Structure 1
Amino acid sequence: METAAVLDIGLQALLVAAKVGAPALLTALAVGFAVSLVQSITQIQEVTLSFVPKAIAVGIALVVCGHWMISEIVEFTLGLFALIPSLTGAG
């Protein structure tokens, strides 16, 4: 297996991981920012006030984007399986 092929597969894996993780991470970021803004305005410093809305919002984001996330991962995996013969030199 050539170094370029390994680097290309690694880059594709990182891009797929970033695309798949983005909905949950961006949702947690937005909700966390909103909750921290409300906490700083009202001066309420409660830990659960920060954690529970983020957990609920990320759960909703996973339900909404879950099908797309799984299809992206399956598409990447099928592409890797299709590359196996050419990477091993059998094809």
Structure 2
Amino acid sequence: MTPSVVVDILREAMFLIMLIVAVMVVPSLLVGLVISVFQAATQINEQTLSFLPRLFATLLAIVIAGPWMVRSLVEFATRLYANIPFLIG
């Protein structure tokens, strides 16, 4: 196994992780931004007001994109295990 192969595997794994995390975090960030603008406009300074909508947005994103996330991880692991003989030899 050459260093370039290891770097390619790590690059692909890191990209997959970043993509999966982005799918979960971006909806929460957008909902938080909308609620923050609403709080600034109405001058409501309640920290707990934005927690529940952000939680629901994150859970909804996980429910909607969950099958895709699991399928992507399983495909990556399957490809990695299938290529073990080629990577070692």
TM-score range, shorter chain: over 0.9
Shift in Å, 1:29: 1.1
TM-score (norm 1): 0.93
SS in 2 for 1:45: coil
Alignment partner, residue 13 of structure 1: 13
C-alpha separation in 2, matches of 1:55 and 1:36: 15
Shift in Å, 1:86: 1.2
Alignment partner, residue 64 of structure 2: 64
Alignment partner, residue 83 of structure 1: 83
TM-score (norm 2): 0.95
Alignment partner, residue 32 of structure 2: 32
Structure 1: 5+ residue stretches without partners:
none
SS in 1 for 2:83: helix
C-alpha separation in 1, matches of 2:59 and 2:66: 10
Shift in Å, 1:43: 0.8
Shift in Å, 1:60: 0.7
1:25-82 Cα distance to aligned partner (Å, 9 max, x none): 1101110100100010011111111111101110011001100110011111111101
Structure 2: 5+ residue stretches without partners:
none
C-alpha separation in 2, matches of 1:56 and 1:22: 16
SS in 2 for 1:44: coil
> For this pair of structures, how many residues does the alignment match?
89
Alignment partner, residue 44 of structure 1: 44
